[in-house]
Amino acid sequence: MKSHLSSVVLLGLAGLANAFTYERLDKNNALLLILDMQEGLFSLARDFDHTTYRNAMYAHASLGKAFDLPVVMSSSSDTGPNGPLPDEFLAMYPNAPLIKRQGEVNAWDNPQFREAVIAANKSQIIIGGITTDVCTTFLALSLREAGYSVWANHEASGTTSTNIRDMANERMRAAGVQVVSYFAILCELMRDWRNTPGAKELFPVLDQYMPAYGMVARAHRAAVQNGTVLSGEDILP
């Protein structure tokens, strides 16, 4: 009897293991949201170094240009202390919907915003915003409830402490939100360096927003163009 029960349990566990489906971001089915990354709210993003976080915001915004994604932007009370979105974002996407919310904390509560997301007709939503625990999380949970697949750019959302950030990310993960890095999003959308966009288009993007990887490409270029194998290097395995 015990042996039979053990077999049933093992079969059940095997079934659970095989039930996982790896969902990949699809550049043809993804929408980029730029949420409340406002000049006044920027000071609330204290869970990252400010220089690092500013770079992450701009990297997030640039994904739309790099992969020709539809973009929806939204701000909250931009004539007050929250301030406007950076001019560079507006210049990147002069024709993208920009929903200026005047009271709704959760962007999904704004009919214009909701209509803009629905009109994009994409099922995968890439999101980043300030703050992680409020603006990003509230919208991410609403999008999940509405049936969307949500990808939260961990680096592009900022809040007042690492503790609050971690709790917010846990809350989103529990709802099925995929909390991932900028590089993970970029590589999911690209899939293959030989694609278009691929190495040719994206190495300059990485050089600007992820300089560690840009330097990998630069070092390789220098080695190929000007490199000399030093004595001792030639015998390394």
Contact 41, 84 (CB under 8 A): no
Contact 20, 187 (CB under 8 A): no
User: Minimal CA–CA distance to 61: which of 180, 187, 177, 155?
Assistant: 155
Active-site option among 85, 130, 135, 156 = 135
Take residue 150 and report the two structure tokens written for it. Answer: 């949500």
Residue 124 CA: distances (Å) to CA of 56, 68, 185: 20, 14, 12
Q: Which residues of 1-13 are buried (b: 16+ CB within 10 A; e: fewer)?
A: eeeeeeeeeeeee
Q: Which residues of 80-92 are buried (b: 16+ CB within 10 A; e: fewer)?
A: eebbebbeebeeb
Q: What is the largest CA-CA distance in the chain?
A: 72
Concerning whether 187 is annotated as a catalytic residue, the answer is: no
**Catalytic residue positions, numbered:** 135
